[in-house]
Amino acid sequence: MGSKVHACSVLLLLVVSFHHSMPWLLDVIFPRDAKSRVSTNNSTPPLIIVPGNLGNRLEAKLDKPSLVHWMCYKKTFHWFPLWIDFNMLMPIGLDCWIDNIRLVYNRTTRRSSNSPGVEVRVPGFGQTYPIEFLDFNNLAGYFHTMVQHLVNIGYVRNATIRGAPYDWRYTPNENQEYLAKLQGLVEEMYEQYQEPVYLMGHSMGCHYVLYFLNHQTKSWKQKYIRGFISLGAPWGGAVKPLRVMASGENDGIPMIPNIKIREEQRMTTTNPWMLPSEEAWPKDHAFISTPSFNYTNQDYKRFFTDINFEDGWHMWEDTKNLTSYLQPPGVETWCMYGVGLPTPVTYIYDENFPNSDPTGYVYADGDDTVDSLSMSLCKRWVNKQNQPVHVTEFKGLTHLDIVFHEQVLNLVQDILEGRSNTSEVVDVAAVNSTSKQP
């Protein structure tokens, strides 16, 4: 719903036509089977999963004062899928979807709100279904493989393992109700199972967990939190959001023009929040290079002015210090991330910037989405908190694969079963090669 265009076969068309350019999509549409090892004990300490950006379902209801296109729905009487809504992949559906999902930023109040006439809710808080699959047909898999792996070793959905979905369009300073619900869920699970809770985050969800833990007392964390499992966290921010806000990024889906999806990508406060932090990056590193100017982390105000998105500057000002100082979480932490893959750290544009795609890239080491400099910043915590910090780098593992890969699932199982000492480096390619030998 959201437009009167029916998009039944869009997903199949994407897989058949474009699978070579979007290998990530195959993992999402056909999530891998969970091949769990036999559990060595009956330990199933409670676990809460906080997903990354775009990592859980959203629903909407409409009563709009105006329409961007006559084929869009103006009023609905029931909640319908806003994310993922496959109508967005159709030309007219995309216009309707962007107008429904966008946020309106108010520079005076420094707050964001839904598009006029749109209500948005997050379904299934405390349950796993909104993070296992992002659509109602269970086609777009996300945490399903992870959850099923844990169920296979004795966990129970919506009981010992629970999801904490949130409205990922908002940064945590505008999501206080969610943080209160997360605290309540932790305390509820502790009281039910009489043991402290593990928190797991992926990507931007790790920043949400860190913000949450930084705002809890030491005594609260000692009582309620057993540990924090971090997967693919962009601790020093990521370069990709600069490209996303400058010229758009369709992640390889050819039906959606980059420039068109840019309209939506500029309408969330989380993209400016995830910009490369001043604490982590050299002041002279150019993230965006154009014939007339090279933009570093000292030039964000000019960057937002030059791309005609000045609200973005104010959003960044509001959020830049939420987690950028990387205050230690104050609980035992397992920090895992992929390395060994070319990852863009500079986007090169021609004179048509910002209304054209990059013409070139400068690469560094990373997981193909976030560079290893940013993800490895959790190493700073080793000597800054009393609780242990375990760091594991997975060679050859992509940003999304970290929630699917068998070696990661087995390591998570080890942690939950009490084997907290983890390998510093896991060569995924070597492990895969060995496992294929007769």
pLDDT (0 to 100) of residue 29? 53
Taken in order 322, 327, 332, 335, is the CA torsion positive or negative?
positive
pLDDT (0 to 100) of residue 432? 58
Q: pTM here?
A: 0.91
33 catalytic residue (yes or no): no
The DSSP element (H or E) to which 261 belongs, if any, is: helix 258-265
Rounded Cα distance, 373 and 415, in Å? 25
pLDDT (0 to 100) of residue 72? 92
Residues 313, 358: contact at Cβ < 8 Å? Answer: no
Write down the residue that tokens 């948005």 correspond to: 120
pLDDT (0 to 100) of residue 23? 45
Number of other CB atoms surrounding residue 384 within 10 Å = 11
Count CA atoms within 13 Å of residue 43 on its CB side: 15
Rounded Cα distance, 333 and 343, in Å? 25
Contacts of 84 (CB under 8 A, 6+ apart): 57, 134, 135, 140
How does strand 161-163 pair with strand 80-83? Answer: unpaired
User: Exactly one of 144, 149, 207, 399 is catalytic; which is it?
Assistant: 399
pLDDT (0 to 100) of residue 437? 46
User: Exactly one of 203, 324, 372, 376 is catalytic; which is it?
Assistant: 203
Q: How far is CA 104 from the centre of its chain?
A: 21
Axis crossing angle, helix 240-247 with helix 258-265, rounded to the nearest 10:
110
pLDDT (0 to 100) of residue 353? 97
390 catalytic residue (yes or no): no
- Collect the ranges in the chain with pLDDT lower than 70: 1-41, 430-438
User: Exactly one of 99, 357, 367, 371 is catalytic; which is it?
Assistant: 367
Write down the residue that tokens 């990661």 correspond to: 408
pLDDT (0 to 100) of residue 260? 84
399 catalytic residue (yes or no): yes
pLDDT (0 to 100) of residue 133? 95
